[in-house]
Amino acid sequence: MARTTKEHTQEIGLSIALILSRYFLKTDHLHYGFWTEDLPVEPGHLHQAQEKYQEYLIAHLPADTQTILEVGCGTGTLAKKLVDRGYEVECVSPSALLTERARELLGAELPIYECKFEDLEVEKQYDTLIFSESFQYVKLEKLVPHTYRYLKEGGSLLIMDFFSLPEMGKSPMGGGHDFAKFQQMMVDQRFESVANIDITAETAPTLDLAEDLIHQVIIPLKTIASEHLRSRYSVLYRSLHWLFRKKIQKLNTKYFSGTRNADTFLRHKTYRLMIYEKSSAATTELSPTDLVAAEL
């Protein structure tokens, strides 16, 4: 399946996030932190909070798990932990840059399927599928049939990711599948829900750190660069600014308007650890209502 412009932009966004968080925040993890009371919300503690996130996820792995498919493995840090603890892990990673990092960490032996989950073609089934903050990127209409296909009977789908709450009004932050629609879809497919834990309060503080990085580093750099271009190449600057005015306005609203913070997140998103089991009653067909919902 060819990549859409949105997917391409998301991939670039993740690569930039990795470069920035590696340099400024000293971390290779690409997911939120899990902030407990003993951990002040400061850049120096992000890596620790992210380690807590991974430990929280691992602590919730179904007891009979041995084989795992980690979908959207990022730089491979979670997969590495799982391998070190004796699990048999394979990964899916559609991003060339992230796959390269993951291969450095995991070695050439561990299979990494370099494609989107939607396009995966392997003749295998696993005990558990893990989506650590990668779930929101996968198209829902493909998710259920693929989950059905790649899970052994009795196997589990473990999701740790945030969902959107459209009933709370228009959100200034994008991302996340519609929470109610997704849950209904899983009920319709007769997957059994065995865990649904709200960890929004523990993860939301990560947004305040990201906002801080934007204000302390990215906005000043952006201002210096644009002042320089404006003074040296005035005509070119004004022409480009006019040509890309809609894109610039969109970026400004999305990243530089001060609305990507913990408060907004708490209002418009819900971060969940969810586990669904593939029971013998599970089905692979999506109802017409689900198909419409999945496309929204």
Ligand X SMILES: C[S@@+](CC[C@H](N)C(=O)[O-])C[C@H]1O[C@@H](n2cnc3c(N)ncnc32)[C@H](O)[C@@H]1O
* Smallest separation (angstroms) from ligand X to the CB of 230: 34
Quick note: the x/- pattern for ligand X over 109-138, rule CB under 6 A, is -------xxx-------------xxx--xx
Question: What is the rounded CA–CA span in Å between residue 179 and residue 99?
Answer: 29
Q: How many CA atoms lie within 13 A of 86 on its CB side?
A: 5
Q: Is 74 in the site for ligand X (CB under 6 A)?
A: yes
- The answer to whether 30 contacts ligand X (rule: CB under 6 A) is yes
146 binds ligand X (CB under 6 A): no
Q: How far is the CB of 53 from ligand X (least distance, A)?
A: 8
Q: 65 or 132, CB closer to ligand X?
A: 132
**Rounded Cα–Cα distance for residues 149 and 242 (Å):** 49
**Smaller CB separation from ligand X, 115 or 229:** 115
Which residue, 134 or 261, has its beta carbon nearer to ligand X?
Answer: 134
- Choose the stretch contacting ligand X; rule: CB under 6 A; options: 23-31, 145-153, 194-202, 226-234: 23-31
By C-beta, is 95 or 128 nearer to ligand X? 95
Rule CB under 6 A: say whether 65 interacts with ligand X. no
Q: What's the closest the beta carbon of residue 148 comes to ligand X, in angstroms?
A: 16
Distance between CA 135 and CA 152 in Å, rounded?
19
Q: Does the footprint of ligand X cover residue 72 (CB under 6 A)?
A: yes
The CB-of-29 to ligand X minimum distance in angstroms stands at 5
With respect to ligand X, which residue has the nearer C-beta, 237 or 255?
255
Judged by the rule CB under 6 A, the positions of this chain that interact with ligand X are 14, 29-31, 71-74, 78, 92-95, 98, 116-118, 132-134, 137-138
